[in-house]
Structures are given as C-alpha cells and as structure tokens.
Chains A and B, each alone.
Chain A
Amino acid sequence: MSEYIEHDIDGISVGIVEKKFFTFSDPPGEMTLESGSRIGPVTIAYETYGELDRDRQNAVLIMHALTGDSHVAGYYSPDDKKPGWWDIMVGPGKGIDTEKYFVICSNILGSCMGSTGPNTTNPLTGRAYGHDFPVVTITDMVRAQKRLLEHLGIEKLLAVIGGSIGGMQLLEWCVRYPDMVTAAIPLATTTKHSALAIAFNEVARQAIMADPNWNNGDYYEGERPDTGLAVARMIGHITYLSDEAMRRKFGRRLQGKSDFSFNFGADFQIESYLRYQGTKFVERFDANSFLYITKAADYYNLGRHYGGGSLVEAFSKTRAKFLVVSFTSDWLYPTYQSKKMVQAMKKNGLDVSFCEIEAQWGHDAFLLPSERLTSLLKGFLDRVYTEDPQR
C-alpha cells in the first residue's frame, strides 16, 4: 500500500497514542512456524485506541498491509507532523469510532516497524537475523497476533478489518479462530495471489536481490540495498495505481521542463513521482522485510490451506458476518477475486454483504478518503455491534 497519510480535514483525532511492545516465546519455548522453523523471543509492536468495555465485547482488530505498521491513527507527540496511516477512518466519530470500539493494530511478524523481523538481533549470533530469519507465512503472522490478544485478555473480536495483505490476515483469522470473530470487513483483497500479483512481487524482489549491497541479506552493518528497495517500491506503486489514475494524475506531462532532456534523467512526471516514492521509502523500510512479507503473501492460498483446494470448504469453517468491499479500478486484486470469496460465503449460507465501489485510484482506493467507504464501515459495524447476542 502507498503512504496516504492525511490529516483529518476537521482536525478530529484520537490524539496522542503510544506504541507498545509484547514479547513472548522466550527460548526454550520458541514459536514453531508453519515451515517448521522455530523463533524466539518474538516481539510484537502494537497500539490500542479507545476503551475496552466491561464485558470485553467491543474490540476491533485492524490489520495492516505490506508496508504498514501498528500506527493506524493519532500522533506520537504534539509536534508529530504525520498522523497514523488510516487516521481518516479511525478516531472519535469516524468510520471506525474509537469512542465506541476498542481498536487494536499490531505490526506483522517479519516486518521492521517494531515487531520481530529480519532486522532484529538474532539472540544466537548477536547480529541481525538477515537472511537467517525464517520464512514466515500469513498464518504465522496471525498466530502471533492471537498471542497478543491473549496477552490483552481479549477472547472475542467484534470485528476484524484489513485491506490487501491485511485482508489475507483477516481471512486467516476468520477460518482459524472462528469462535473469536463476530464480523469481518475484507477490503480490496484476495484469498490467493494471481500470477500477475506474484509476477510483480517477483520483479520487486529481484530488484532488491540484484543490488550488490543486498549481500545475501547480510547488510545491516554496511551499505544498504537502497537502490534495489527503491526500484521494488516503484514497481509496487505501479500496481497500486491504475491506467486511469496515472492518466489523470500524470498523463505525459513533463517534470519542471518544457522539452525532453535527451538523457536518462526523470523527464516525465510519472518517472519523477516513482523515483521520489522509491527514495522516500528506503528511509523507513527494510529490504529484507519486503522480501519476506511479499513471499508470505504469494504463498497464501486460503482454499488450499483450509479446504483441500475448495474455497467453499475453507469458508465452511467460519461463522463471521462479512462485508466484502472491492474497487472498480483495482487491478492488483480485481473485483472478480472478491466475488469468488463472496460466492464461497454464500454457498455456506454465511451472512455476507458485498459492495464494489466505483473508484479511479486503483488498489490504493481503500486508503483514500471515501465517504462511501466510511459510511459502509460505520453502518456495518453499528449493525454487528447492536446484533451481537453477547452484549
């Protein structure tokens, strides 16, 4: 996902928030991963907003996408320049109302925003894991989140909400821990990557691994593979937009010049935009995390994992109420993929609503201000909150 960190135009915010950490699976009780590898200790960075009500029935878990973090909303300090990545949606009176719900978001296992990942120190060597970090899967990420919820004393989630790779974690939650999830809102997501999605990820990974500084993932004490990571990010940004979005936003306009420079500088605005996004990204993200998380997303296949190849069988394990949302111009996870999961839910008699939002901004649309999306989330959450028999 892109960085669309926007201040709320009305200035409404959840306020000052704090990033917290939870560490578990200390050796010798390491966490066994899906691959069979073991890892420990594991730290998960997380944030919470709002108050957990007395009967602990108003918890909402938000799951971030590829490059996101636990910082969904609010500010770390009064002079913090940027709010969290979904500040427009999460806060008092917003789509996900922090006056009503207890909102939790954690950084995924394998990332680099506070949770254990390849840039974490390996207790066995005293150096960063680098390429020794075991391959983690979406299942592993969700199992780590489950540990965090146990730590927070939450046995029931009113709703899980996630877009893109966050949506995959959400689906995993629904089939793996069906008794814990009352409702789910998968946004712009899929039950498995298409060849197109894997192809883009592979090119992005190749860009990182072709950077001599990558050094087989062992670069934390020297130069970093910034060029490779920047190119990987540029590829990502192409997949997050759409033909229409790029035509509207950039067209063939030139950047700060009236004619071609007849060299390989950035002539076109789109070139300049992608370069800027790439350069900015390397300041905040770790190349190895990019490799691990994209691989986890490519491996994910809900139907194969839980249904012997049948999505209908996989969804028979869940009892959540769903609101599935896709966006017309999303070519990374097109609407037909959302419809496939909706179909499987219907075949299981699940309570499912589906809306395809007309949007020109491609995959990124789920992060952009949208009254439609806000009111959908608000209405659906209101309903499941009211209907919840436990309350």
Chain B
Amino acid sequence: MRSDPRLRLPIMLIVALLVQTTVLARMRVWGVMPDFMLLLAVAAGLTAGAAQGAALGFASGMLIDLFLPTPLGLSALVFTLVGYGVGVANTGVLRSAWYIPVLVAGGASMAGVVLYALIGSVLGEQMIDGHLATIALVVGVSNAVLAPVAVRFVAWSLGSSKGRRSSKAGAARST
C-alpha cells in the first residue's frame, strides 16, 4: 500500500519529533543527545537541495521550538540556515561515495550547534561555555552516525523517486 505523498511530510515530522523527545532524549553521552531535528534539515539539503533544506529546516525547527524552553523561532532560524547552506554546498553528493553525506551531516550539525549557541547568546541565553565544545562534538558524531537513516527518511517524505531525480538534475545543471 502506498501512502498519500502529501501526508508523508507531516508523518515524517511527527515521527521524528517523537523519536527525538522520547528515544534520543534518553540516549545521552556526557549529557548530550543527538539532534535529529537538525539532521532532518541537513538531510533535506543533501537529498533535495537548498530550497527544500531551508523549508524542512524551518518546519522541523519550528516544531521542536514548541517543546523547548528557549525563545520560539530560534531553532527554526538556525535549521533554515543550515539546511540551505548544506543544499548550496552539496546538492548531488548522494551519488558520490557513501561517507561524504555522513561527513557533511557531522560537520553541518556541529556548525548548526555553534550557530545556535551564538544566536542564543545574542538573545541573552547563556549558551557559550566550556560545555559547548562537548555538545558540538557529540551532536556532530552522533548525527553523522544517524545520517544514512535520516537521508532515507527525508527522501521518502519528499517522495523518494522525485527527490532523487531532482537532486541529480540539480547537480547536473550546476556542474
């Protein structure tokens, strides 16, 4: 049975939110958990390009913001920028070696964490201290591990065949 493609995106976001708030929130290393919602933005940027990365980043960021004590919109802003950045830099890398998306996901996640802390600090949240390096590192590594799952998940939600094809087409056009 094939699900309605229009329903896939909301389903994916809600499942991701559940996984983040229940499973991943308990799997902490040095008190730090993977950031799957951020990873969705990265994966969207990887599979479908800058616009999709920004859009999915905005959606997943706004969704997780509802459940955070930090100001509403902070994650949305950061995830939008990260999704877009990954899309601009890496459209089409899925076709290259398997480890490239993994490395990109790790690096982009680290960058996202640091950006989040920077913007949060501007807003008066106390986020930059010795722990930030640990957070960035653990999120980077654990997100890299989860990247293959996230990429498939996002590709499915964006309509897998369509997502793949347009990313290939984008790569072909930009080269």
Tell me whether A and B are bound partners.
Answer: no
